Structure 1
């Protein structure tokens, strides 16, 4: 009797899981199918399967938005930002954990508090400050902003993981004559690899797909136009080129989607490892 009850419950759960999967995959179907349609076909029936695949949409997008340049801009901004976030947040978390003091506790509390502040409430002040410091329209300006906004969560993740690193390893390194920098970069930093991969993935997904911050900081500098900014060229005040916009969207998300699928298992592993010890 229990077996039949179990099977029926399992069947209901499987049906529910399939329906949920279809619900979440529906937007991907719409984007993929409409990216190879003409604008007329999209407007007539966006849900239908394309009668003829118009792969020319992708070649047109490649030329219109100068895809190689936009791709390299996104890659450059993302790479520099993530490298600096990982480096500075890991060092800050290590200092907070290994050098407990009221000041370090206050800094940690300040960083954690920054996580709950909505970005929209800082937009006007951010534009004013970056303008005064001449950071707008510059590569180092957008990287500095991403570093500031990416530090709180990254420090929080590193903070939890560093507590799991045995203190005896650092003491042994000091006995062997290593200075504080040697202890961190030779002993501690390599051990942070699981949570480091998590921090890299989370920040890469955020920075690569971000639209609002580049709009505010990069502005009209066409030499630094990222992929999210480039795709907006197909959305005008009176016309929207959905055929090219959806093809551009596929081209923009494909690299980061592959990156996520390859490294997704490390997200759960890293966060779980960092929460073992309080």
Structure 2
């Protein structure tokens, strides 16, 4: 509510009464913030990075989890627990050498950002998919194999459709994190016209002054799409997290 009220105030009113209702609401902040942020291009960049990253994360994580869940060896267990442990590694501890490495091979900006998202978000996704797949009886695989299906057909036509709620949960959790991320894009994106919305939000925070009324309006514009996505898919979240974490 503070963001909504602040986006309808003038700068002087924000400093005078930051927590109160706007006395004279104005919508002028929104077109100014839209133009200052180059919102259309930034929105396209954010959507492109999020959609491609989430698509790759879902595909590779689901396939990796299927292989780990169906393999009967000590290495599958080791790899699974390694994925669980890697979720605890903070990005800040490896960001400098990682960004330096990607810079040497010219994999910065959107391409590098997508690959880094794939690497950092896959462990949690594998963890959720693995738990859900352990609850699916292997007899389904065997029945499909007896009908002549190969391993890829078994996975895509039999197993993956059953994981709908887990897939939606992975989409929501990874999508929100990628959409809101500022630190990683700030290190990877260095080309004009490829900035994401969180990066463009920094435009309102100058060295000597902060345009709070435009910053709050821009923040509201930036969070509306992800809120709508969450509201549309929220019914699957509890079910998916439960399947991936407890079974």
Tell me the residue number matched to 2:213.
243
SS in structure 1 opposite 2:94?
A: helix
Aligned equivalent of 1:269, options 232, 239, 247: 239
Q: Which residue of 1 aligns with 2:30?
A: 58
Q: TM-score, normalised by structure 2?
A: 0.96
Quote the offset at 1:276 in angstroms.
5.1
CA contact (8 A) 1:164 1:276 kept: no
- Give CA-to-partner distance per residue, 1:251-271, whole Å, 9 cap, x none: 000110111122222111112
Q: Distance in 2 between matches of 1:73 and 1:102?
A: 42
How many Å separate the matches in 2 of 1:134 and 1:265?
A: 41
Counterpart position of 2:160: 189
**Helix, strand or coil for the counterpart of 1:86?**
helix
CA distance in 2, matches of 1:274, 1:41: 47
Contact 1:164/1:274 (<8 A) preserved: no
Answer with 1 or 2: which has the greater Rg.
1
| Pairs aligned (count) | 247
Q: List per-residue Cα deviations over 1:108-132 (Å, max 9, x = no partner).
A: 2221111111111111122112112
Of residues 176, 195, 215, the one that matches 1:205 is: 176
**1:152 maps onto 2:116 in alignment:** no
TM-score, normalized by length of structure 1?
0.86
Q: How many Å apart are 1:275 and its aligned residue?
A: 4.3
Partner of 1:253: 223
Measured in 1, the distance between the counterparts of 2:228 and 2:157 equals: 31
The corresponding residue for 2:134 is: 163
User: Equivalent residue for 1:132?
Assistant: 104
Q: What are the within-5 Å matches in structure 2 for residues 35-74 of structure 1?
A: 35-74=7-46
Determine the C-alpha separation between the residues in 1 that align with 2:179 and 2:160.
Answer: 25
Unmatched tracts of structure 2, length 5 or more: none
Bigger Cα displacement from structure 2, 268-277 vs 85-94 = 268-277
Q: What is the CA deviation profile of residues 70-95 of structure 1, one whole-angstrom value per residue up to 9, with x for unaligned ones?
A: 11111110000000000000000000
Displacement of 1:99 after TM fit? 1.1
CA RMSD of aligned residues (A): 1.2
Cα deviations by residue, 1:216-247 (Å, 9 ceiling, x for unpaired): 111x2122111111111000111100010000
1:36 deviation in Å?
1.1
Q: Is the partner of 2:149 in helix, strand or coil?
A: coil
